[in-house]
Amino acid sequence: MYALVDGNNFYVSCERVFRPSLNGRPVVVLSNNDGCAIARSNEAKALGIKMGAPWFQIRHLEEQAGLVALSANFTLYGDMSDRMMSLAAGLGPTQEVYSIDESFIGLHGVRGDLVERAWKIRARIHQWTGIPCGIGIGSTKTLAKLANHVAKTAERKPGTYADGMASVCDLSKLRSDQLRAVLSSTEVGEVWGVGRQISAQLTALGVKSVQDFIELPCEVVRGKWGVVLERTWRELRGEACIEVADMPVPKQQIACTRSFGRPVADLAPLLEAISEFTSRAAEKLRKQRHLAGQVLVFARTSPFRDGPRFSKSVVVPLRRPSADTSTLTTAALAGVRAIYQPGFNLAKAGVMLLDLMPDTQMQGELAWDDPVTGQRDRAKLMVAMDQVNDRFGKRTVLLGSSGITLGADTWGMKQVRRTPRYTTVWGEVPTVRA
C-alpha cells in the first residue's frame, strides 16, 4: 500500500503562511523573470488562469479581479518543503521525496486504520507548517497519485465525487462499484504518466476515462505506446510495478540554466552569466559528491520573438573528471567562446554537467604538470568555499569571472515581487507585533 502526500497549490500556500491576508484571494506565483504563472490559488484557478500562463496575458486581472502576483521565492519554498517532508515521513516506514511538494510513502507493515493515520499527519503538517495538503492512498503508486487527485478535486469542487473523499482519499477502501464510478468520472489525462500527447491519442480512440483506459487490452497498450504506458496500465489495475525509491538516486546530469532579464547580445555579459551558472552547477555537483566528465553549454534566442534565430550548444570534454569550479568554468567559457556569434538577442543560456561519476572512483593518472598534491589542495579549496558560502550566504566567495553585480543591468533576473526569505535569512525573519 502506498500514499502520496502533496501540498495544495504549494508555492501559494507557502506565501500565505506568512501573509494570511492572501487567504481567499486569487494569487499566483510567477516563474523566474516574473514570466509566467507556475502556481495558482484555487481562486486564481477559478478565474481561468492556466498553469504556465504568461504574466502579460493575465496581468489585467490584477485590476479586474484583485489578482495578486508574487515573484518565485524558491529559498522559502525549499525550506518549507523540508519541514513538510519530515512530517509526512511519519506516515510510514519509507519515503520518496518526489518533488518539492510531493512525497510517496511506503505503507508496508503499517498497522491500524490508514485513513485515520493520514488525517492525523495531515493535521500535524497543517498545524506545524501552515501548509494544507491532500493525501491519496492506493495499492500502487499510480493509484495513490490518482487518489490524491480525487482528494484534491473533491475538496475544490464538491459534488464531483461521492462524499468522504475530500482531502484524504483511500481508493483501496472502495467497493468495486464505487471504484468504477470514480474511475469512470476521472479523465484519462489526469493519470500519472499520461501526458498531453498520449491523452489526445487515447481520446481519439474513444478512450476518455480512466475506466475506459484500464479496459483496453494489454497488447494494444503495449503495441501502440510501449512498456512505459503498459506499466501505468498495470498499476491502475492494482499491480504494483514501481517501488518507492527510499534512497535518493544520484543525478545523472546537473543543470543550471536561466532566461535573461533582458536580451543579451554581447559576449561579456554572456561569459559572466555562464561563469555564474557553472559555479551554481558545480556546487550541486559537490553536494552530490560527484565529478563531471563533460560540460555542455548552450545559448539561444527566444522562440517567441521575431528576428534572427540562434540556438547552439557544445559539449566540452574535460581532460579528467572534475568538481572544481574553476576547471569547470574554464571549460564552459571556452565552450561559450566557441559558439558565440554577435548580432543575436539571446534570451537564455545554460550549463549542464554530464558524465557524472562518484568522486571516490577518480582514476589515478601520471601527470607531470599537475601533481597529486595540487589536486588535493584544489579539493580543499572547494570544501572551504562551500563551507563559507553555506554559512555566510551564496556568493560570499566567488569566481571573479562571475562578476560582482549578478548582471544587474545586463543578464540578471527580473524579480520585482519577491517576498522575504522568512525562514532562512536572519535579517528577513518576520517580526511579531503585540
Partner DNA sequence: TCTGGGGTCCTAGGACCC
For DNA, give the closer residue by CB, 110 or 241: 241
What residues does 300 pair with on adjacent strands? Answer: 311, 348
Q: Angle at which helices 372-392 and 267-287 pack, to 10 degrees?
A: 90
In angstroms, what is the minimal distance from the CB of 241 to DNA?
Answer: 10
Other beta carbons less than 10 A from residue 156's beta carbon: 15
Cβ proximity to DNA: between 298 and 340 the closer is 298
Cα-trace Rg, the chain: 24
Cα–Cα distances (Å) from 30 to 11, 12, 38, 46, 161, in that order, read: 10, 10, 6, 17, 31
Q: Please state, as a whole number, how many other Cβ atoms lie within 10 Å of the Cβ of residue 317.
A: 12
Are the C-beta atoms of 336 and 297 separated by less than 8 Å?
yes
Q: Which of residues 364-393 bind DNA (CB under 7 A)?
A: none
Q: Using CB under 7 A, count the residues that bind DNA.
A: 49
Q: Is the separation of the CB atoms in 274 and 316 below 8 Å?
A: no
Please state the closest distance from residue 243 (CB atom) to DNA, in A.
Answer: 12
Nearest to 253 by CA among 216, 214, 220, 291: 291
Select the residue interacting with DNA from 65, 179, 216, 255 (CB under 7 A): 255
Binding DNA (rule: CB under 7 A), the pick from 111, 175, 196, 391 is 196
Binding residue (CB under 7 A) for DNA from 40, 117, 141, 145: 145
| Out of 33, 95, 186, 279, the residue judged to bind DNA by CB under 7 A | 33
Helix (H/G/I), strand (E/B), else coil: 306: coil
Candidate residues 3, 36, 58, 171; the one interacting with DNA per rule CB under 7 A: 36
User: Is residue 96 near DNA by the rule CB under 7 A?
Assistant: no
422-424-428-433 Cα dihedral, nearest 10 degrees: 50
Single out the residue of 160, 178, 185, 302 in contact with DNA (rule: CB under 7 A).
Answer: 302
- Told to check if 253 binds DNA by CB under 7 A, we report yes
By rule CB under 7 A, what string of x and - marks binding of each residue 41-60 to DNA?
Answer: -----------x-xxx----
Task: Map the footprint of DNA across residues 262-281, applying CB under 7 A.
Answer: 262-263, 280
Residues that bind DNA (CB under 7 A): 31-33, 35-36, 38, 52, 54-56, 98-102, 145, 191-199, 226-228, 249, 251-259, 262-263, 280, 284, 302, 304-305, 347-348, 350, 352
